[in-house]
């Protein structure tokens, strides 16, 4: 079941996909342990083996590579982690402006805040927003004593030893500098150095890096500072933290001081007096962007006078006196070589464009999403076309349109059969209005290797089986577990018996479990063997069959046998069975169709049979036919004092009433507790019969 030891060459495609997900999760767990908790859990060699296996699978199945692939991450060898440094002055982030209009709003808000008229111009500085990572470097009595990353803004990583290797950052300040100085700015890697490093990595047969920013971050994370030293990191100073005394009273004055102390400062920094001048400078920098030796992603404007900065102050995470004017997404043209179908966790089929690798803003792009079949049609793209793509920040690149189309370009046919191993038909659902939806799904549900885990999580969720100690996290744990795998619902109920057969490797002896917790889990599973019919129906995760629909079905059919029989009959096209279900209140053709489809798949039938063989399914309480509220629609509003809202609803339903959430012409009774508001007014307007809680109890006896 688990592929850990299966050679990469022997993996089937679904196995490879599952394995890539498992490896990504496992590597992320180790990265987290190493980077954040300073507590690595495996040896370097074992970690490297995981990364190598991940890479080998990606090489064999390049199209399965995850967007968040561990091979894209610039990692550090597993060893001891970094210490933490708490920033004396928090490191905040910046608000973003995406249009000239946003910039005007930003400046006008400053004028309003300060109570000055717009013509009474306030100078701002404008400088490129460097795409690197921010750093706070502390000097005491002129000597560099510590350097920390931003971290969460309050606490960062202590990377002092590494920062000392950055030759552009002075280790001492000149005579006369204040006794405490914290210089802040951006550590980055120049495009040229990034490309040279990648060429070196490739020549050595090593994994190359994604972009200069990640590489700079990864290079700083090296525990061996000599590796950092070999990476040619650079720095721009643009801000400060704690200062025992201020050497200047303006932003640009501070930048001049930093330059005099020996820090690199950005040459494109300007002090400007009007909104138009800011926007002109932004456009100029935008034009120069591609030719700059480093990546930037916008222009930062800051109020120049520090006394005004102080008066303006901060919102929760960003200053009122500064904003980042971002550049629009970057675009490029490349050839679309293939369109593959990816199956998502809920079975949605997404077409993905495979592209001839192209660098967009320093990132090598090889895939882009095409969303759905309609999008492919709308764009008119065919395989072999030159297409324009766009990458906005870290989001998945998109295809914008066709640039040129060769004669031999091939039309893409959306598959009718899911690429998952099951060869199940692809279905396209109708939306409420009977219009065909754009999403195509694999109808494999529980059996589809891509959907199984998600279905299991739904199966154990609160409104379904709700087993104490078996939630999403535990499904993740057991799903890929080699000793006690849970791959379908019935596996949950055989867990104890399978555990008992495991000899020494019992659950109680495993990490995260003990005697008591293992026993508690088995007890909770046993308790869940007796289940209400509606919960069972809901837990199957059949599309369109939510909690309410499951209740309606349970009440209408009464027993599991009756539901099962009806579902199988519907699947076989029995019109009487279809009409019978369709006639139920609140149940429309989409539900009937989804049920028929679900029970039309052999693997679903088997899965359900295996599951129900483990359960005692309670009969649904038949709603009273003779109660005074049978068939009526009731709305509860205001606060109820004698029963909870849930109880009130259950009671009304038991008595054969339908409970609605809002008042309409169809409402027969409104039960209004104290504090009832608009629903009561509306009921009175419509002449709906209204009563309080006591009245309700009197009525139903």
Residue 305 is given by DSSP the state B
Closer residue to ligand IVH, CB minimum distance, 168 or 340: 168
Q: State the greatest distance between any 2 C-alpha atoms of the chain, in Å, as a whole number.
A: 95
Stretch that binds ligand IVH, among 33-41, 105-113, 122-130, 633-641 (CB under 6 A): 122-130
- Name the segment binding ligand IVH (CB under 6 A); options: 34-42, 50-58, 89-97, 256-264: 89-97
- Chosen residue from 130, 216, 592, 657 binding ligand IVH by CB under 6 A: 130
Q: Which distant-in-sequence residues (6+ apart) come within 8 Å of 457 by Cβ?
A: 472, 475
Task: Examine residue 322 and tell whether it contacts ligand IVH (CB under 6 A).
Answer: yes
Q: Which residue has the tokens 């040229």?
A: 192
Among 86, 93, 230, 517, binds ligand IVH (CB under 6 A): 93
Nearer to ligand IVH, 210 or 300 (CB): 300
| Options 61, 82, 209, 238; binder of ligand IVH; rule CB under 6 A | 238
The DSSP result for 1-48, as a single string, is ---TTS-GGG--HHHHHHHHHHHHHHHHHHHHHHHTSS---S-HHHHH
- Interaction between residue 323 and ligand IVH (CB under 6 A): no
Which residues have CB under 8 Å from 365's CB, separation 6+?
Answer: 332, 334, 355, 357, 358, 359, 389, 391, 397
Q: Say how far apart CA 587 and CA 595 lie, in whole Å.
A: 11
State which residue, 213 or 457, has the beta carbon closest to ligand IVH.
213
> Closest distance between ligand IVH and the C-beta of residue 223, in Å?
23
Kind of pairing between the strands at 669-672 and 633-637: parallel
Q: How far is the CB of 298 from ligand IVH (least distance, A)?
A: 8
Site map 248..287 versus ligand IVH, x via CB under 6 A: ----------------------------------------
Question: With respect to ligand IVH, which residue has the nearer C-beta, 39 or 248?
Answer: 248
CA distance 459 to 398: 34
Least distance to ligand IVH from the beta carbon of 406, Å? 42
Sole window of 68-76, 86-94, 209-217, 458-466 interacting with ligand IVH (rule: CB under 6 A):
86-94
121 vs 115, 156, 304, CA distance in Å?
12, 38, 11
- Binding segment toward ligand IVH, per CB under 6 A, in 27-35, 48-56, 126-134, 690-698: 126-134
- Residue closer to ligand IVH by CB (options 128, 347) is 128
Is residue 129 flagged as an active site residue? yes
Find the part of the chain contacting ligand IVH (CB under 6 A) among 128-136, 556-564, 622-630, 640-648.
128-136
Using the structure block, give the residue that is written with the tokens 């002129």: 142
Residue nearest to ligand IVH (CB): 134
Contact pattern from residue 364 through residue 383 relative to ligand IVH, giving x for each residue in contact according to CB under 6 A and a dash for the rest: --------------------
* 154 CB-near residues (< 8 Å, 6+ apart): 86, 87, 90
Minimum CB separation of residue 358 from ligand IVH in Å reads: 25
Q: Does residue 183 contact residue 259 with C-beta atoms inside 8 Å?
A: no
Of the candidates 488, 446, 493, 486, the one whose C-alpha atom is nearest the C-alpha of residue 614 is: 493
Token code pair at residue 214: 């990640």
Residue 597 CA to residue 588 CA, distance in Å, equals 15
320 vs 483: CA distance, rounded Å: 56
Q: Of these, 17, 129, 191, 555, which contacts ligand IVH (CB under 6 A)?
A: 129
| CB contact at 8 A, 94 and 323 | yes
Q: Are 398 and 368 in contact, with CB atoms under 8 Å apart?
A: yes
Q: Are strands 633-637 and 349-360 parallel, antiparallel or unpaired?
A: unpaired
The window from 76-84, 88-96, 576-584, 601-609 that contacts ligand IVH (CB under 6 A) reads 88-96
Q: How far apart are CA 172 and CA 161, in angstroms?
A: 14
For residues 17 and 325, which CB has a smaller minimum distance to ligand IVH in the complex?
A: 325
Site for ligand IVH in 142-181 (CB under 6 A): 150
**Which residues touch 591 (CB under 8 Å, ≥6 apart)?**
544, 545, 549, 581
Query: Using the rule CB under 6 A, which residue among 20, 23, 324, 648 binds ligand IVH?
Result: 324
Tell me: does residue 186 bind ligand IVH (CB under 6 A): yes
Site string for ligand IVH, 196-235 (x = CB under 6 A): ----------------------------------------
d(CA 478, CA 203): 41
> Minimum Å distance from CB 200 to ligand IVH?
27
> Which strands, in side-by-side order, build the sheet including 234-243?
143-149, 133-140, 180-188, 234-243
Cβ of residue 299: shortest distance to ligand IVH, in angstroms? 8
Cβ nearer to ligand IVH, comparing 94 with 595: 94
By beta-carbon proximity to ligand IVH, the closer residue of 71 and 134 is 134
CA–CA distance, 526 with 197 (Å, rounded to integer): 58
Q: Under the criterion CB under 6 A, does residue 33 sit at the interface with ligand IVH?
A: no
Question: What's phi and psi for 149, nearest 5 deg?
Answer: -75, 170
Residue placing its CB nearer to ligand IVH in the complex, 33 or 92: 92
Tell the burial category of 388 from Cβ atoms under 10 Å away from its Cβ (0-12, 13-18, 19+).
middle
- Distance of alpha carbon 524 from alpha carbon 466, whole angstroms: 9
Q: By CB under 6 A, tell whether 239 contacts ligand IVH.
A: yes
**Smallest Cα–Cα separation from 313: which of 324, 322, 304?**
322
Q: Which is nearer to ligand IVH, 138 or 150 (CB)?
A: 150
- # residues near ligand IVH by CB under 6 A: 15
Q: Which of 17, 65, 73, 129 is catalytic?
A: 129
Which of residues 300, 353, 427, 592 is near ligand IVH by CB under 6 A? Answer: 300
Helix residue spans in 61-185 (DSSP H) = 100-114, 160-164
319 binds ligand IVH (CB under 6 A): yes
Binding site for ligand IVH (CB under 6 A): 92-94, 127, 129-130, 134, 150, 186, 238-239, 300, 319, 322, 324
Residues assigned a catalytic role: 129
């Amino acid at each position: 079941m688990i592929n850990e030891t299966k050679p990469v060459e022997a993996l089937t495609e679904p196995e490879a996909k599952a394995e890539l997900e498992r490896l990504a999760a496992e590597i992320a767990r180790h990265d987290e342990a190493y980077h954040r908790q300073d507590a690595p859990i495996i040896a370097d060699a074992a970690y490297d083996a995981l990364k190598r296996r991940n890479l080998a699978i990606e090489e064999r199945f390049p199209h399965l590579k995850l967007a968040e692939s561990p091979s894209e991450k610039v990692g550090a060898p597993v060893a001891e982690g970094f210490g933490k440094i708490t920033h004396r002055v928090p490191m905040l982030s910046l608000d973003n402006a995406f249009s000239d209009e946003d910039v005007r709003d930003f400046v006008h808000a400053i004028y309003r805040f300060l109570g000055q008229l717009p013509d009474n111009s306030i100078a701002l500085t404008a400088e490129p927003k460097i795409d690197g990572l921010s750093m706070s470097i502390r000097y005491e009595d002129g000597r560099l004593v510590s350097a920390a990353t931003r971290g969460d803004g309050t606490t960062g990583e202590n990377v002092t030893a590494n920062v000392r290797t950055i030759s552009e950052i002075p280790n001492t300040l000149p005579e006369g500098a204040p006794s405490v100085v914290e210089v802040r700015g951006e550590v980055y890697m120049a495009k040229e150095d990034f490309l040279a490093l990648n060429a070196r990595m490739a020549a050595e047969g090593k994994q190359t890096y994604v972009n200069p920013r990640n590489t700079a971050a990864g290079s700083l994370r090296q525990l061996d500072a000599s590796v950092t030293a070999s990476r040619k990191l650079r720095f721009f100073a643009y801000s400060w933290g704690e200062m025992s005394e201020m050497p200047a009273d303006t932003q640009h004055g501070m930048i001049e001081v930093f330059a005099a102390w020996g820090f690199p400062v950005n040459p494109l920094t300007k002090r400007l007096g009007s909104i138009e001048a800011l926007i002109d400078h932004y456009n100029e920098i935008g034009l120069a962007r591609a030719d700059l030796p480093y990546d930037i992603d916008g222009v930062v404007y800051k109020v120049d006078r520090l006394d005004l900065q102080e008066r303006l102050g901060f919102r929760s995470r960003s200053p009122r006196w500064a904003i980042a004017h971002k550049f629009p997404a970057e675009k490029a043209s490349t050839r679309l070589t293939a369109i593959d179908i990816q199956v998502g966790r809920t079975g949605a089929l997404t077409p993905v464009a495979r592209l001839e690798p192209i660098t967009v803003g320093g990132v090598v792009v090889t895939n882009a999403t095409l969303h759905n079949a309609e999008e492919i049609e709308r764009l008119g793209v065919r395989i072999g076309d030159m297409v324009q793509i766009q990458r906005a920040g870290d989001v998945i690149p998109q295809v914008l349109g066709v640039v040129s189309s060769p004669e031999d370009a091939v039309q893409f046919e959306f598959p009718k059969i899911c690429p998952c191993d099951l060869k199940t038909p692809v279905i396209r659902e109708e939306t409420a209005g009977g219009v065909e939806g754009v999403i195509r799904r694999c109808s494999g549900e529980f059996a589809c290797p891509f959907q199984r885990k998600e279905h299991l999580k739904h199966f154990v969720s609160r409104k379904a089986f709700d087993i104490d100690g078996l939630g999403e996290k535990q499904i993740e744990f057991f799903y890929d577990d080699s000793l006690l795998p849970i791959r379908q619902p019935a596996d949950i109920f055989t867990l104890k018996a399978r555990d008992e057969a495991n000899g020494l490797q019992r659950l109680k002896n495993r990490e995260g479990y003990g005697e008591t917790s293992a026993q508690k889990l088995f007890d909770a599973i046993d308790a869940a063997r007796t289940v209400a019919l509606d919960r069972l129906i809901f837990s199957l995760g059949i599309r369109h069959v939510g909690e309410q629909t499951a209740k309606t079905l349970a009440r209408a059919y009464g027993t599991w046998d009756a539901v099962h029989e009806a579902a199988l009959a519907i699947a076989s096209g029995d019109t009487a069975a279809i009409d019978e279900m369709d006639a139920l209140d609140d149940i429309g053709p989409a539900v009937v169709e989804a049920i028929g489809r679900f029970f039309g798949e052999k693997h679903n039938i088997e899965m359900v049979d295996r599951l129900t063989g483990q359960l005692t399914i309670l009969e649904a309480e038949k709603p009273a036919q003779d109660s005074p509220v049978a068939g009526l629609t009731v709305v509860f509003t205001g606060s109820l004092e004698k029963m909870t809202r849930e109880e009130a609803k259950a009671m009304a339903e038991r008595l054969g009433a339908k409970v609605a959430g809002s008042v309409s012409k169809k409402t027969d009774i409104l039960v209004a507790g104290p504090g009832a508001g608009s629903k009561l007014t509306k009921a009175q307007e419509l002449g709906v019969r209204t009563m309080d809680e006591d009245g309700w109890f009197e009525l139903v006896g």
